[in-house]
Every structure is written in C-alpha cells, then in structure tokens.
Structure 1
Amino acid sequence: MRKVLSILIILTLAISLVACGGNGETNEEGNVLDKDWKEIVKEAKGTEVSFYGWGGSQQTNEWIDGFLADTMKEKYDIKVNRVPMNIEDILNKMLSEKQLDSEGSIDVVWINGENFSTAKKSDLLMGTFTDVLPNFEKNLDVDSEEVKKDFGHEVDGMEAPFGKAQFVMIYDEARVDKYPVNHKELMEFAKSNKGKFTYPAPPDFTGSAFVRNIIYDIVGYENVKDLEPNKEQVKEKIMPAIGYLQELKPYLWREGKTYPATIAQLDNMYADGEVVMDMTYNPNSAEAKVRTGEFPESTRTFLFENGTIGNTHFLSIPFNSPNNPGALVLINEILSIEAQASKYDPKNWGDLPVIDNSKLSEEEKALFEEIDLGEATLPQEELLTNRIPELPADLVPIIEEIWLENIPTEGE
C-alpha cells in the first residue's frame, strides 16, 4: 500500500502543471468558501453528498446510514450516499480523476495520517475550509494539537476532526485476577499465563499501535517523537523495546511462532476464550461487543499507568468534489453537539467526541453525562488525562519494518 502511495505522489507531481487544481471552487459559480454560510446551506438543499471511507464496522456504517443520513435529510433535505472503500483505492480514484481532468465523484472522504499527507502533497484536496464551518469554532478547541495536527502533519484547515480514538487493553475479569499496568507487569503476566496473550502482527493498525505503546512505555514518547524518518536512527533508539518484544515472544499464543493477522482475528480468539486479553483503538468497542453478546459480560478495559496512544480521525473534501456546499454542510453537522453525543453512545458507535467540554452549556454537558457507557468502558476523563500523542506518520512504517525484521514468525 505504501509503495502505491509513493507512486501516487510521484505521478501527481509529474502531472501537476497540466492537471486541474483544487481551491474549493464551485465551477462557474465561484469559490464556495467566500460565500455566506446561509447561502452555502441554501445551495446544498436538495442535493446528494457522497461519503467515502472505511466500511469495516457495522456499527459505524449503521450510524452514518441511520442517524446522520436521517438528520441530513430532515434538516437540510440532503441525501447521504455512503460508499465503503479502502483509502488507497480512494486516493487512486482521486488521482485518476485529476489525471483525466474528469468530473469528481467524491464529496467527503474519511482520511488520516500518512494518507492525508499524501493527498495534501499531491494537491488532491479542496484546500482550507474549516474556518467556514460554524460548529468548528463554536464547539472545538481550534488551538489543540489534536485539531491542528494529524499524526504529526500540519492540517492547515484542510481536514476537520470528527472523532477520537485511544488505545486500551481488554481483559476478562472472570479469568484475570490482576491486569498489568506497565510493560514489566505484562511480561510477568505473559509468563504466568503462557499462551493466553498475544497481539496482531504489524502492519495491522491495532497491533502496530500496541508495539508503539510498548516503545512509549520502555523508551518514552519524549525520546522518540522528534526522530527523523531514518531507519538506522529509529532502530537504535527503539531497540530496548524490540528486545523486550523478542523476550516476550515465547510466552505468547503459539509461543509467538505466529501472530493473529488482524485485530478481527484476535477479537474472535478472545470471544472464544482462546486468549484472556484483547486490545482496541476504540475504547468503547469492548462494551459494544458485550451488548451484542460477542464478548463475555465480565469484559473490562484498562490503560497502562504511563498512558496510551490516542489519535484523531478527520474528514476532508477532494479538490474536485461535485457538491462542495453539501460536503461542508455534512461535515459541519457531524461537528454538532447532537451528532457528537449520538456518535459517543456505545449502542450507536462509541466514538470519542472531539468537542471542547469547556465550551458546553450545562444542558449540552448533560447530553454526554446521561449516556450509559457500560461497565467495560473507561470514563472519558480518565482516558483524556492518560492520553499520549501519536508519532509522526512517517515513523510508523519504519517501526513496522523494524518489527518485521526482528520478530520473525513461522515461514520467515
């Protein structure tokens, strides 16, 4: 995938002089970003917005197709068309449309990290638009690093945050007497419960996050956050954590000879009782799976005492979006208090809100406080006070490559 994205950048830069650029224009009608918000809403009425992004979560899909689509139809007479597609395919589609100078087909895209950086460098995005959204300034802390940066990359108003994630560990309280709160205790736990713990092999997103959490716990975030994307330098700095993972290996499921390929596989192993711990980048997902009967009712979540990695997911608008007004109205609505509260409820999605709590009225605060998070979910305050930023996106594939080279599995 990353090779494809690198090729995309090269190809895009090569054609940049002849391809169309994207500055938020609405064809002959001028720049939509220069218009009054009421006029933008008026133009969006009766239109259709195509929402492209990851479609791997049934709950997420149902929230978009249900709450969001219903709200957009009722409030603005806008139809939401969700199109599930992997981000690399989305970027290829955007690039192809640019190369051919053809009409766009994507209005809103769910994008993050290195993929955002690729799209930004390749001039595939609309441009700065967040300052046009009323709910952006009204409901968010616009000076927050998590709003201004995406995996270390400057956002420059070219994408809007719409939810947060944070890495948590999952365990079965009925089978685990004491959960580990740091890497040392995790090693002892694995030794005492041989074969009952493992993690997905990077580059699985969650497995990669687990490896970075171990690096943070052993090496320290402050000691890796400013590293240059130089493999030898990164390797030298993180080797204490790689050595730890090598030592942990024989105590894992199947003695570390093989690893779950995806987080979905590890979820199934936990659900079947094959392991007693799991992990997730959505701190509310464990409770959601308890409620559907996938996970045992004794499921709980915990954090490492030094904190865990959190990131923000974003929405952007392609340079050639055929419905800029509709895209802006959709993103603005997702940043509303009502949408953020609905999305936060584990029965709907369980996605952490991006709202600045200090800007909420007492009535608005009540919307969030009344949500039943369930026994398996940690309070938002505990999560936010134990939250560590993500590394710059260009360091992540380097760390994954070092893991693959130093933690061999069967057949390697």
Structure 2
Amino acid sequence: MKIRFFIMISVLVVIIAGCSNDESLSISDEEIQNQSFEEIAESAQGETVRMYMWGGDEGINQYIDEWVKPKLQETYDVTLERIPLDTNEIIQKLETEKRAGQEDGTIDIIWMNGENFKRAKEGELLFGPFVDQIPNVEDYYDTESLDFQYDFGKATEGFEAPFGKVQFVFHYDSSKIEEPPATLDELMEWIKQNPGKFTYPDPRDFTGNTFLRHVLYGKASSVEKILEEPFSEELAAEESANVWTYLNDIAPDLWREGQAYPSTLSELDRLYSQGEVWMTMGYNEARGEVLVEDGIFPDTTESFILEDTGSIGNTHFLSIPYNSPNKEAALVAIQLMLSPEAQLIKLKPTYWGENTPIDIDKLDQTKRQDFDSIDRGDTVLEQEHLMETFIPEIDATYVPWLKEKWIDEVASEQ
C-alpha cells in the first residue's frame, strides 16, 4: 500500500513539475517583442513553423519546398511546413478562431496583401508590430518607402514584412512602334495618330481598372493626397474629374472606336498577338517573357512605363497571426526569406522569377553584382528603372468606385 501511495505521489509531482515547466516556458507577445533577434533565434530552435499560402503556382511551391525549407532547417534548426490554402479562407479561419477565443492556433505565417491585410488588421488578427525585429529589413530594405508603409492604401505599421512585388508595364511591338510614348499626353497623341491600334480592358477586369488608376495618378492634383487621405466620394470625385475627360478624348480613336472594350486581359493579349492592336499591358513586369517564349507575343515585344504616372506596384507581404503558437520560428523564417540570398534565388527564373523589394543601393558591391547579373529576359525592364518608377496602390475602395464611375462617365457616353 505504501509503495502504491509513493508511486501516486511521484506521478503527481512529475505532472505538477511538468505543468510548472510549461508555464515557465510560455512567453507573452510583449516578451517576444522585447527580445533581441539572437534570443528569438535561440528560442526557435527545434520548432516547426506552418506557412499558409496560396498554392496555385508550381514554381512558387518549389521555391518554398526545395530552397526555403532546407535552408531554414540548416540555418536555424526550424522545420517549415507549407499549407496551401486560398488567402480568403485563411482569414476566415482566423476570424472563426478569434470569435471562439482560440488563443493557440495552427497558422504561423500568412502570405497576403490588399483587402485580406485590411481585413486581418482591422479584425485584430495579427501579431505585431514585428518588422523592427527583423534585422534584414533594417539592413536591406527602404523602410521609408511608401510601398512598404501602405498596402493598397492601408498603413502596414509593422504588421507585415515585404516579401516580393510586381509592377504594371505596357508591352509594345517594336517592329511597328519605333519609340513608345513617355507620358499620358504623348499616349493620347499616339492614339490619335494611330487610330484603332490601342485599347484597354473593361475596368471590371483588374488590369483595365489598374490602367484607370494610372490615369488617376497622372491626372490627379496630388498623388500624396490620394495615398494619405482615406477614401471618400468627395475626394474621389474631385481628383478623378480629369480622368473622365482624358478617357472620353481618346475613346473615338481606340479599337472599334471605343464602342467596345476587351472584357479581359487575355482578350487584349489576343488582339495584340494578332496585330489588331500594337500595345497591351499587364500587372507583372516579367509576364511578357513567357508569352514571347511560348510564341503568343511577337519576339519584337518590348516594355515601357509612362513617366508621369509611374508604375503601380503590388507589394505582397508576410504576416504572423495573433494566435501563432510558434512566433519565434515565424520571425526567423521571415528573416531568412527576406535575406539577399533568398531574394536572389526568388528573382531567378529557375523557380519564381519575381521581382525583389530589396533596396539594391543597400547591398554591398558583390551582392549588387549578383542581382545585376541575373538575366530576366529581353522584355523585362532594368531593375533600377523599375524601382525608380515604382508607386504604391491606393485605397482598395477606389477599385469598385472607378469601375462604376467609368460605366457612368465613359461607357454610357459612347
């Protein structure tokens, strides 16, 4: 009997000690935010970080699985699991957990931007601010840049770290156009001199809407005002007045005299590939390379950006959920993915071929040469030019507003 009693007491002591040990190991968000990166990296050893992200591109998946995962294990002794899921579903999952009071979740890193970030930030679904704890951000990124401070007009405030970006460019057939226009006014003049050879997608298509946002940037009285002030009907109406004048002025000389517009970017690309129009456009500065390689675009395709509008860029980011169970592992994983080495691999067409948000001027000469030496293809503009012309997205509310106003102000007038 005494032996059984002794065993029971021993078991209870072990259980109590284990519970006490768990409590001592638990760490609050505030304590994590007060740690140095070295302390965070030490705590993260042996942990598993689960990265939830859209999984629809095999090249992107291979980059994460074949390069990031083993590199993270080798460098920080952290295991990465990639969980493919639509970003909207990820946010819905977090919202459900928040309502249920679930403080111990299953998601450690989210790849997202735009409306999803706005939803997550306003719903208090994110851990942070954390960006100041990532040494690579301070060392290699321009933290004062508007495209990092705002995500589709929503202030990031350190709740997401820049992971990559794409930019809007125009493509043209250099066998038919010797010198592309450099400004909106020059584009208008070119359209009038070459009737029927230019159009843009219906703004219900994202690319068509992005073209409208470029016209807005070029014709607004103040780009800073649009970026910094919250959306309002009054501000939008005031700043867009010249947009509708411009679009109505070019309409008669567009393809089909502005009586019809391509419903999608794919339709505009088809018109370009068949020579019906001599320009197309798109929200990815490298997309023309694949289309030329596949024989869809003519091999005389080149790219340009309008100087007075700049090139709207879509930066995408990495965030950490409020209830991530492995925040230290998430921080070291983000540190790795934002390193020059990781960004260089991501830039190569081997996996992803996507542009980098790194500030090339912050790199030493050797690293800069590594980035400069990558051949992204003849249709892709120089990295320096892309960075110089990069402008951030405006408040996401402008997207549906411009679509509806275009129908009223332009389409119904033709």
Fold conserved between structures, TM > 0.5: yes
- Does structure 1 retain, via aligned residues, the 8 Å contact 2:165–2:314? yes
Separation (CA, whole Å) in 2 of partners of 1:274 and 1:262: 16
Letter in 2 for 1:110: W
In the TM superposition, what whole-angstrom CA distance separates every residue of 1:311-350 from its partner, at most 9, and x where no partner exists? 4322111112233233222211111011111222345433
Letter in 1 for 2:394: L
- Does structure 1 retain, via aligned residues, the 8 Å contact 2:37–2:133? yes
- Say whether 1:374 aligns with 2:377: yes
Secondary structure of the structure 1 residue equivalent to 2:239: helix
Q: Counterparts in 2 of 1:42-61, with a 5 A limit? A: 42-55=42-55, 57-61=57-61
Separation (CA, whole Å) in 2 of partners of 1:233 and 1:142: 28
Letter in 2 for 1:336: S
Which residue in the other structure is 1:230 paired with? 232
Secondary structure of the structure 2 residue equivalent to 1:50: strand
Which residue in the other structure is 1:344 paired with? 347
Change over 3 Å in CA distance of 1:143–1:393 after alignment to 2? same
In the TM superposition, what whole-angstrom CA distance separates every residue of 1:167-226 from its partner, at most 9, and x where no partner exists? 211112234344222223333444455444332333543322211111222335446445
In the TM superposition, what whole-angstrom CA distance separates every residue of 1:258-287 from its partner, at most 9, and x where no partner exists? 444443454455445554322122222322
- Does structure 2 retain, via aligned residues, the 8 Å contact 1:40–1:325? yes
Residue 122 of structure 1: how far off its partner (Å): 1.1
Residue 288 of structure 1: how far off its partner (Å): 4.1
Which residue in the other structure is 2:297 paired with? 295
- Say whether 1:400 aligns with 2:398: no
Change over 3 Å in CA distance of 1:83–1:407 after alignment to 2? farther
Change over 3 Å in CA distance of 1:126–1:221 after alignment to 2? same
Letter in 2 for 1:285: R
Change over 3 Å in CA distance of 1:39–1:219 after alignment to 2? closer
Residue 107 of structure 1: how far off its partner (Å): 2.0
Letter in 1 for 2:332: V
- Does structure 1 retain, via aligned residues, the 8 Å contact 2:49–2:78? no
Secondary structure of the structure 2 residue equivalent to 1:101: coil
Separation (CA, whole Å) in 2 of partners of 1:56 and 1:272: 29
Change over 3 Å in CA distance of 1:151–1:345 after alignment to 2? same
Separation (CA, whole Å) in 2 of partners of 1:188 and 1:369: 35
Which residue in the other structure is 1:10 paired with? none
In the TM superposition, what whole-angstrom CA distance separates every residue of 1:73-103 from its partner, at most 9, and x where no partner exists? 4434523314141x33332222112112345
- Say whether 1:323 aligns with 2:316: no
Which residue in the other structure is 2:127 paired with? 126
Letter in 2 for 1:98: K
Which residue in the other structure is 2:242 paired with? 240
- The unaligned stretches of length 5 or more in structure 2 are 1-22
Change over 3 Å in CA distance of 1:53–1:59 after alignment to 2? same
Q: How many residues align?
A: 386
Secondary structure of the structure 2 residue equivalent to 1:322: coil
- Say whether 1:95 aligns with 2:95: yes
Secondary structure of the structure 2 residue equivalent to 1:170: strand
- Does structure 1 retain, via aligned residues, the 8 Å contact 2:165–2:315? yes
Separation (CA, whole Å) in 1 of partners of 2:95 and 2:60: 27
Which residue in the other structure is 2:64 paired with? 64
Separation (CA, whole Å) in 2 of partners of 1:70 and 1:250: 57
Residue 52 of structure 1: how far off its partner (Å): 3.0
Q: Counterparts in 2 of 1:128-167, with a 5 A limit? A: 128-167=129-168
- The unaligned stretches of length 5 or more in structure 1 are 1-24
- Does structure 2 retain, via aligned residues, the 8 Å contact 1:114–1:394? no
Residue 360 of structure 1: how far off its partner (Å): 1.5
Separation (CA, whole Å) in 2 of partners of 1:69 and 1:273: 45
Letter in 1 for 2:37: W
Separation (CA, whole Å) in 2 of partners of 1:277 and 1:27: 60
Change over 3 Å in CA distance of 1:185–1:159 after alignment to 2? same
- Does structure 1 retain, via aligned residues, the 8 Å contact 2:147–2:393? no
Letter in 2 for 1:318: P
Deviation >6 Å, runs of 4+: none
- Does structure 2 retain, via aligned residues, the 8 Å contact 1:26–1:324? no
Give percent identity, aligned residues only: 40
Change over 3 Å in CA distance of 1:51–1:378 after alignment to 2? same
- Does structure 2 retain, via aligned residues, the 8 Å contact 1:151–1:391? yes
Which residue in the other structure is 1:217 paired with? 218
Residue 46 of structure 1: how far off its partner (Å): 4.9
Separation (CA, whole Å) in 1 of partners of 2:185 and 2:194: 14
Change over 3 Å in CA distance of 1:182–1:68 after alignment to 2? same
Change over 3 Å in CA distance of 1:83–1:259 after alignment to 2? farther
Separation (CA, whole Å) in 1 of partners of 2:323 and 2:172: 46
Separation (CA, whole Å) in 2 of partners of 1:46 and 1:294: 48
Q: State which of 261, 276, 289 in structure 1 corresponds to 2:278.
A: 276
Separation (CA, whole Å) in 2 of partners of 1:328 and 1:349: 23
Change over 3 Å in CA distance of 1:230–1:359 after alignment to 2? closer
Change over 3 Å in CA distance of 1:57–1:293 after alignment to 2? farther
Max radius of gyration: which structure? Answer: 2
Residue 238 of structure 1: how far off its partner (Å): 0.9
Which residue in the other structure is 1:14 paired with? none
Which residue in the other structure is 1:8 paired with? none
Residue 139 of structure 1: how far off its partner (Å): 1.7
Change over 3 Å in CA distance of 1:225–1:142 after alignment to 2? closer
- Does structure 2 retain, via aligned residues, the 8 Å contact 1:113–1:393? yes
